[in-house]
Amino acid sequence: MPSAPPTSTDTSSANGPVARGADGAGLLRRMYRASPLRQLIKIEWDHRGIGPKDVFLASYPCSGSSWMRFLLLELLAGDASFAAINVAVPYVGRHRVAPSIVPDGGRLIKTHEPHLARYRRAVHLVRDPRDVALLLFPIHAAHRQAGHPARRR
Protein backbone atom coordinates (compact mmCIF):
# COMPACT_ATOMS: atom_id res chain seq x y z
CA MET A 1 0.00 0.00 0.00
CA PRO A 2 1.54 3.34 -1.02
CA SER A 3 2.28 5.79 1.77
CA ALA A 4 0.60 9.17 1.88
CA PRO A 5 2.64 12.09 0.64
CA PRO A 6 4.10 14.29 3.38
CA THR A 7 1.94 17.22 4.40
CA SER A 8 3.09 20.84 4.37
CA THR A 9 3.96 20.57 8.07
CA ASP A 10 6.28 17.62 7.49
CA THR A 11 9.88 17.67 6.43
CA SER A 12 11.84 14.71 5.25
CA SER A 13 14.68 13.06 7.11
CA ALA A 14 16.56 9.80 6.82
CA ASN A 15 13.98 8.12 9.06
CA GLY A 16 10.92 9.47 7.23
CA PRO A 17 8.78 12.55 7.67
CA VAL A 18 9.38 14.65 10.77
CA ALA A 19 7.08 17.36 12.05
CA ARG A 20 8.41 20.82 11.40
CA GLY A 21 10.08 22.18 14.52
CA ALA A 22 10.83 18.75 15.97
CA ASP A 23 14.55 19.47 15.64
CA GLY A 24 14.24 22.54 17.89
CA ALA A 25 14.46 25.16 15.14
CA GLY A 26 10.79 26.03 15.54
CA LEU A 27 11.24 26.55 19.28
CA LEU A 28 14.25 28.81 18.73
CA ARG A 29 12.36 30.79 16.10
CA ARG A 30 9.40 31.29 18.48
CA MET A 31 11.74 32.30 21.31
CA TYR A 32 13.44 34.86 19.05
CA ARG A 33 10.13 36.31 17.87
CA ALA A 34 8.90 36.69 21.46
CA SER A 35 12.24 38.05 22.68
CA PRO A 36 12.11 41.40 24.49
CA LEU A 37 15.49 42.22 22.93
CA ARG A 38 14.01 41.88 19.43
CA GLN A 39 11.21 44.26 20.39
CA LEU A 40 13.67 46.81 21.81
CA ILE A 41 15.79 46.72 18.66
CA LYS A 42 12.70 47.21 16.47
CA ILE A 43 11.48 50.12 18.62
CA GLU A 44 14.90 51.81 18.51
CA TRP A 45 15.12 51.36 14.74
CA ASP A 46 11.61 52.69 14.08
CA HIS A 47 12.08 55.71 16.34
CA ARG A 48 15.36 57.02 14.99
CA GLY A 49 15.23 60.65 13.91
CA ILE A 50 12.45 61.66 16.32
CA GLY A 51 12.82 65.21 17.60
CA PRO A 52 11.40 67.04 20.62
CA LYS A 53 9.06 69.07 18.37
CA ASP A 54 7.38 66.01 16.84
CA VAL A 55 3.78 65.31 17.89
CA PHE A 56 2.45 61.75 18.07
CA LEU A 57 -1.12 60.74 17.33
CA ALA A 58 -1.49 57.62 19.47
CA SER A 59 -4.49 55.31 19.46
CA TYR A 60 -5.61 51.70 19.61
CA PRO A 61 -6.37 50.28 16.13
CA CYS A 62 -9.90 51.06 14.84
CA SER A 63 -10.30 54.00 17.22
CA GLY A 64 -10.76 56.70 14.60
CA SER A 65 -7.12 57.65 14.03
CA SER A 66 -7.60 58.07 10.27
CA TRP A 67 -10.50 60.44 10.89
CA MET A 68 -8.34 62.37 13.38
CA ARG A 69 -5.46 62.53 10.88
CA PHE A 70 -7.81 64.04 8.28
CA LEU A 71 -9.09 66.57 10.81
CA LEU A 72 -5.62 67.61 12.00
CA LEU A 73 -4.20 67.77 8.48
CA GLU A 74 -7.08 69.99 7.34
CA LEU A 75 -6.51 72.32 10.31
CA LEU A 76 -2.71 72.45 10.02
CA ALA A 77 -2.04 72.25 6.28
CA GLY A 78 -5.39 72.83 4.57
CA ASP A 79 -5.05 69.81 2.26
CA ALA A 80 -6.65 66.65 3.63
CA SER A 81 -6.89 64.18 0.78
CA PHE A 82 -6.33 60.42 0.78
CA ALA A 83 -3.10 60.90 -1.18
CA ALA A 84 -1.76 63.52 1.23
CA ILE A 85 -2.72 61.83 4.49
CA ASN A 86 -0.13 59.01 4.40
CA VAL A 87 2.64 61.39 3.33
CA ALA A 88 1.90 64.22 5.75
CA VAL A 89 0.98 62.08 8.80
CA PRO A 90 2.89 58.80 8.40
CA TYR A 91 3.22 55.87 10.78
CA VAL A 92 6.19 55.82 13.14
CA GLY A 93 9.09 54.22 11.27
CA ARG A 94 8.12 55.95 8.01
CA HIS A 95 8.35 59.45 9.44
CA ARG A 96 11.81 60.46 8.18
CA VAL A 97 10.46 62.11 5.02
CA ALA A 98 7.35 63.60 6.63
CA PRO A 99 6.92 67.37 6.18
CA SER A 100 6.89 69.71 9.17
CA ILE A 101 3.23 70.72 9.52
CA VAL A 102 3.06 71.52 13.24
CA PRO A 103 3.33 75.32 13.78
CA ASP A 104 6.66 75.16 15.65
CA GLY A 105 8.32 73.00 12.98
CA GLY A 106 7.50 69.50 14.23
CA ARG A 107 5.96 66.60 12.37
CA LEU A 108 2.72 64.77 13.09
CA ILE A 109 3.38 61.02 13.41
CA LYS A 110 0.83 58.23 13.88
CA THR A 111 1.47 55.28 16.21
CA HIS A 112 -0.40 52.37 17.75
CA GLU A 113 2.43 51.65 20.19
CA PRO A 114 2.25 52.15 23.96
CA HIS A 115 3.55 55.42 25.36
CA LEU A 116 7.32 55.83 25.38
CA ALA A 117 9.33 58.43 27.29
CA ARG A 118 10.57 59.90 23.99
CA TYR A 119 7.00 60.92 23.10
CA ARG A 120 7.31 64.43 24.51
CA ARG A 121 4.13 65.67 22.83
CA ALA A 122 1.21 63.42 22.01
CA VAL A 123 -2.47 63.38 21.17
CA HIS A 124 -3.99 60.23 22.65
CA LEU A 125 -7.21 59.24 20.92
CA VAL A 126 -9.52 57.08 23.05
CA ARG A 127 -12.66 55.27 21.92
CA ASP A 128 -15.15 53.20 23.87
CA PRO A 129 -13.57 49.70 23.98
CA ARG A 130 -16.95 48.04 23.38
CA ASP A 131 -17.15 49.76 19.98
CA VAL A 132 -13.61 48.69 19.12
CA ALA A 133 -14.38 45.08 20.12
CA LEU A 134 -17.46 45.05 17.87
CA LEU A 135 -15.36 46.36 14.99
CA LEU A 136 -12.41 44.00 15.46
CA PHE A 137 -14.32 40.77 16.17
CA PRO A 138 -15.37 40.09 12.53
CA ILE A 139 -11.83 40.85 11.33
CA HIS A 140 -10.25 38.37 13.77
CA ALA A 141 -12.95 35.77 13.07
CA ALA A 142 -12.28 36.03 9.31
CA HIS A 143 -8.55 35.52 9.92
CA ARG A 144 -9.22 32.38 11.97
CA GLN A 145 -11.52 30.96 9.27
CA ALA A 146 -8.88 31.66 6.62
CA GLY A 147 -6.36 29.60 8.60
CA HIS A 148 -4.18 32.46 9.83
CA PRO A 149 -2.56 31.69 13.18
CA ALA A 150 -3.42 33.83 16.17
CA ARG A 151 -0.88 36.58 16.77
CA ARG A 152 0.75 36.80 20.16
CA ARG A 153 2.30 39.95 21.54
CA–CA separation, 37 and 34 (whole Å): 9
The pLDDT of residue 1 is: 52
Q: What is the pTM of this model?
A: 0.62
Q: Which CATH superfamily is domain 50-133 in?
A: P-loop containing nucleotide triphosphate hydrolases (3.40.50.300)
Nearest to 38 by CA among 48, 49, 29: 29
**Domain locations along the chain:** 50-133
One-letter amino acid at 61 equals P
Residue-wise pLDDT for 36-93, tens only, equals: 887 788 888 888 888 888 888 888 888 888 888 888 888 888 877 888 888 888 888 8
User: What secondary structure does DSSP assign to 82-121, as a single string?
Assistant: HHHHHHHSPBTTSGGG----STTS--EEEE-SPP-TT--E
